[in-house]
Each structure stands twice: as structure tokens, then as C-alpha cells.
Amino acid sequence: MNVPLLDLCAQYATMKEEILAEIERVCDSQRFILGQDVEKFESEVAEYCGAKAAVGVTSGSDALIIALMAEGIGRGDEVITTPFTFFATAGAIARVGAKPVFVDIEPDSFNINPLLVKNKITEKTKAVIPVHLYGQCADVEPILELANKLGLIVIEDAAQAIGAERNGKRAGAFGDYGCFSFFPSKNLGAFGDGGAVTTNSQEKAERLKIFRNHGANPKYYHKYIGGNFRLDALQAAILSIKLKRLDGWSEARQRNAAEYRELFLEVDLADTLVLPAEAEGTTRHIYNQFCVLAPRGERDNLKQALQNAGVGVEVYYPVPLHLQECFAYLGHRRGDFPVSEDVSERILALPIYPETTTEQRKHVVGAIKEYFEGRP
Ligand SMILES: *Cc1c(COP(=O)(O)O)cnc(C)c1O
């Protein structure tokens, strides 16, 4: 049996006609840049996230960059974030010329440890970027409180967390900005690259729109140096169709996660592996990934065994960002962020996408059981 980590074809088959009709409509109009389809999708996303406004952009990476740019964050500034995230989080900080300042994660949620943020604040600190990793909101309340007191900007990296909730509030509605990615493997995936920034401030939304169009307002009069960060009309039209189905997919992912838990309990592996924890305050985990922790020193062998059994698995992420070659100038060394380092050596993502079947999950769990029975 084969269990791919992700198979988008099954999902596409359920909405192919509707999507092709929309693509045809946009093609017939020959209006590809911004316009009505983008505006419609923006208001739908804002409403879905419980934010006042959303601005469609080219990708999740650009969503982070444009939020930083709109706040004038750059050379000489520091931005606090987690080293255990996709590269783009810290990459965006560095690309606007600011310095990424890392804070270690919590061992259970894998999200930034809010208690450690305070120690890293200096007079150069301008913003904090908590990441809602794997589809679970970070513990943002203490960060928001601190930011409020000190006048810092909070930018949520919600790329993996559209529709995730903490204490009843959705990702992208907490901070000054929420940055979303519509990369195909995210819960809401475009047919290519795409992203959005949510905000509760109309004024910030207007500024983002100016920045995504080379900082021009009006046309050809450049108040700022922005860039081309525009979402395509084709992608927006497709995303509008998919957004209507997103809750159904997220619920299927939750059911799949619950079933994994039962199956691991049944075969007595729930203690050998560390299953993903839902933190206190998490009211909706959308399981963009279902990541387990292998016992120390076992992850790579377990990964290989699963691949041999036809199971698609992946390591998100094998190298914490403070140990990346490109950030050597920050002067970090192994041991600086021990929780991130430990997790990066033990984490493994299992197939969780909505269309996976119970039979497939049994195969995954069976292969893991076989690995632990067969090891020396
Ligand atoms: C996917 C992702 C991004 C980047 O999004 P792109 O659309 O691929 O540019 C940023 N941060 C996190 C946490 C992500 O998972």
C-alpha cells in the first residue's frame, strides 16, 4: 500500500468543473492583475479570519516582507522570532535589512516560548513574529501584552494556520498583521503561489495595498519603495472556490488526527512516540501537519523504514534557523536553542491530508509498530 504525504489530485477531482469554469471566465475577461476577483477573495478571507481587512499578495514569504516594509522595519532594527520554522520567517526579516533575533520554542507545541521573549528585547526591537506552526496558534496573548506595553508590532506568521483558533479567536486576527500562504501544500492552496496579509486596521490595509504596487499612490507617484506583490486574479478566483470547502477539509484533518491517536494507543505506541499536543488555549488545530517526535537517535531510521513501507514522510524542519549557513553572521552555535535543536532531530510528519483513509492510517501505524518491534 502507498500512502503519499500529500495528494492534491483527489481534492481537485471534487471541484474540477467549477474551477475550470472560473478559469475560463477570468481568461475570457483577460483581466489578470488585481481587480474584482482579488477584492472578492480579500473580503472573504478577512471575514473567514475574523479580521477587518485582507490584502492579497504574491506569496506567504512576500506577505511577511510587505508587513515589515509597511512598518518601515529595516537596517538597524531587530525582530524577534522562533528558529524552528520555515526559512521564510527569518528570511523576510533579513531581506528587509533587519536582524532576526531568535527565541526558543516550547517542547510540546513547538511554538515560540512567550516567556523567553522579554529577555531578548532591546531598544532596537521593532517587532515580534510568532509562528503558528503545523496549524496550531502560538501562545500569543503574553506576546501581545508585552508588545502593547512597549509599542512593538506583532506580525503573525499564519502561513500554516488558516482557520486555527486560540481561545475562540482565529489566526490572523490577533496581531497587527497576519501573514498567510496559499502555497499548494497549505490547507488552502492555490494553483501556484499566493498569499495574503490580514489586519484589523483599515489604515494598515491601505498602506499594504500601496506597498504591493511599488509604493505608488496615485499611480506613478511613489511615496514609498514598495514592490510588485500582487495576487493574480486567476489564483483569487480559484481560492474563492476552495475557501468554501476549507472547513470541511480542516474537519477531516482533525478526524484523521483523532484516529491516529486511537490507533497509536491500540498498538501501545502512544508513549514511545510523542504525539502532537494541543496546547491549553487551543480551540481549533487545523493540522496542516501531524508531526510526531521519535525517540532520540531513531528518527532517521524510522523515516527510512516508513519510506520502505510506501509511506510518504517528511522532516519539517531538519536544521533550526540559527544553525543555517546563511545566518552564520549572527554568531550562533549548537546549544543556543536546545529545544529547537532537539525537536529538529526527532520530528517527523505523517500523512494527514483530508482524503486519506482509515486503511491508509492503519498501514502507517502498522509500519511504525513493525519498526519498533524489529529494532535491536
Ligand atoms: C509556507 C510558509 C511560508 C512561506 O510561504 P510561501 O507562500 O511558500 O512563500 C512562511 N512561513 C511559514 C511558517 C510557512 O509554512
pLDDT tens-place string over residues 57-87 = 999 999 999 999 999 999 999 999 999 999 9
195 CB under 6 A from ligand 1?
Answer: yes
159 CB under 6 A from ligand 1?
Answer: yes
Is the domain of 180 the same as that of 35?
yes
**30-39, 99-108, 263-272: least confident range:** 263-272
Closest ligand 1 atom number to CA of residue 131: 13
Residue 59 CA to ligand 1 center (angstroms) comes to: 8
131 secondary structure, DSSP code: B
- For 281-321, write each residue's pLDDT tens digit: 999 999 999 999 999 999 999 999 999 999 999 999 999 99
Which residue range is the domain that position 364 belongs to? 246-373
Is the domain of 251 the same as that of 233?
no
Q: If you average pLDDT over every residue of the chain, what do you get?
A: 97
pTM (predicted TM-score): 0.98
* Strand 78-81 relative to strand 99-102, pairing: parallel
For the chain, the straight-line distance linking the first and the last C-alpha, in angstroms and rounded, comes to 26
131 CB under 6 A from ligand 1?
Answer: yes
Is the confidence at residue 374, as pLDDT, over 90? no
Closest ligand 1 atom number to CA of residue 92: 10
Q: How confident is the model at residue 375 (pLDDT cuts 50, 70, 90)?
A: confident
- For 143-170, write each residue's pLDDT tens digit: 999 999 999 999 999 999 999 999 999 9
Q: Are 137 and 161 in contact (CB under 8 A)?
A: yes
Say what the pLDDT of residue 205 is. Answer: 98
Say what the pLDDT of residue 185 is. Answer: 97
136 CB under 6 A from ligand 1?
Answer: no
Q: How confident is the model at residue 270 (pLDDT cuts 50, 70, 90)?
A: confident
- For 245-261, write each residue's pLDDT tens digit: 999 999 999 999 999 99
161 CB under 6 A from ligand 1?
Answer: no
Phi (first) and psi of residue 333, to 5 degrees: -140, 165
Indicate if the alpha-carbon torsion angle 275, 375, 350, 303 is positive or negative: positive
Say what the pLDDT of residue 281 is. Answer: 98
60 CB under 6 A from ligand 1?
Answer: yes
Q: What is the CATH number of the domain that holds 263?
A: 3.90.1150.10
Q: What is the CATH number of the domain that holds 33?
A: 3.40.640.10
Closest-CA residue, ligand 1 atom 3, reads: 60
Say what the pLDDT of residue 168 is. Answer: 97
Is the domain of 203 the same as that of 69?
yes
86 CB under 6 A from ligand 1?
Answer: yes
Q: Residues near 6 by Cβ (< 8 Å), separated by ≥ 6?
A: 185, 312, 351, 353
264 secondary structure, DSSP code: H
Is the confidence at residue 376, as pLDDT, over 80? no
- Domain total in the chain: 2
Residue 376 CA to ligand 1 center (angstroms) comes to: 39
294 secondary structure, DSSP code: P
Closest ligand 1 atom number to CA of residue 59: 7
Helix (H, G, I), strand (E, B) or coil at 256: helix
Is the domain of 39 the same as that of 154?
yes
Q: How confident is the model at residue 19 (pLDDT cuts 50, 70, 90)?
A: very high
Is the domain of 212 the same as that of 125?
yes
Is the domain of 125 the same as that of 84?
yes
In the sheet that 169-170 helps form, which strands lie side by side, from edge to edge? Answer: 169-170, 165-166, 282-284
Q: What is the Cα–Cα distance from 5 to 351, expressed in whole angstroms?
A: 4
326 located within any domain? yes
